[in-house]
Structure 1
Amino acid sequence: MRALITVGSTRFDELIQAVFSSSVLTSLSNKGYTTIVVQCGDSTFPYDYLLAHGERAFKLEKEGVLIECWRFKPSLQTEYEQANLVISHAGSGTIIDVLRMDKALIVVPNPTLLDNHQEELASELEKLGHLRSSTTSSLAATIQEFNPSSLTKFPPFDGSKFRNLLDEEMGFI
């Protein structure tokens, strides 16, 4: 099985460092993940020197897991499609993209961002059962305890809801 870890366009050193930890890699391996793909952005982590000097990606094996790592790609669509699990920062764009694809999702809010807005979004979507939220320090345990079949399917996009809301607000209804 394949897991994708992404920080989007942000820098999230703590998440990337956690992903390369023995405890997280062991949890992923114990759950059957043999390959993890890491989109690390501009994060600093123990293996970032492998992306220095113009290298675009690297691969290594650690704790029995094959790891592919790169900084950025123009699109993550293919990566989402190939992943059985996505572990992500709690950015709204990434969350919506992944949930609309009906993929298992664990989010790790980045507490260093303005007003900790990622925590609020993650908390609400977890209450609705669409994803699991974690911290970097509890990520290994969250992975170990995570049961994707317990998630509630995210509703499909319905453009009429916005149109109806706008019509009502404008007095057309």
Structure 2
Amino acid sequence: MIIRKEIKDDNELYLYFNGKLIYKRWLNLGYGKVFDTHAFGKYTDYSITDFDLEETPELIHVKAKLTLVTTEQGGRKTGIASGYRPNHVFEYQTNGQFKYAYMGDIQFEQTERILPGETKEILVRFLSRQPIDEYMNIGRKWWIHEGARKIGEAEILGIEFPKTE
């Protein structure tokens, strides 16, 4: 198993798994595209800040209510822990595939773990260099994915944007 990253023209990040392109990210635009959801889903522990950027982008903090899908309904067999970095999907295409998988990690304030079928309040930290602002509205729902598999649903309860100087 070989994972390789490549930055071309100081603007485009490419992530390869065993020689096959699985992910591309336009660094100046702040969004990416997943080409192989199965392979990429195995490696969602990586975030854009793990790829040697000179500075870490600011974060959008979103307080949300998260419900994990039960195992019987196709969700995970085990729960998730604080620091988990799934794919965050706000919109699907007409063919059922998602348009973009946004980067954000899930943090827990009052619990160690969320189990399948449970609902808890969480904090999600999204990278601010993503075209995600249009989705940042209280009451907005989005879906949590591991690759192509939907494992949860979240709803925005509150938002804290980075302070601009």
Q: TM-score interval w.r.t. the shorter chain?
A: under 0.3
- RCO (CA 8 Å, sep 6+): is it higher in 1 or 2? 2
Pair member with larger Rg: 1
Larger helix proportion of the pair: 1
TM-score (norm 2): 0.24
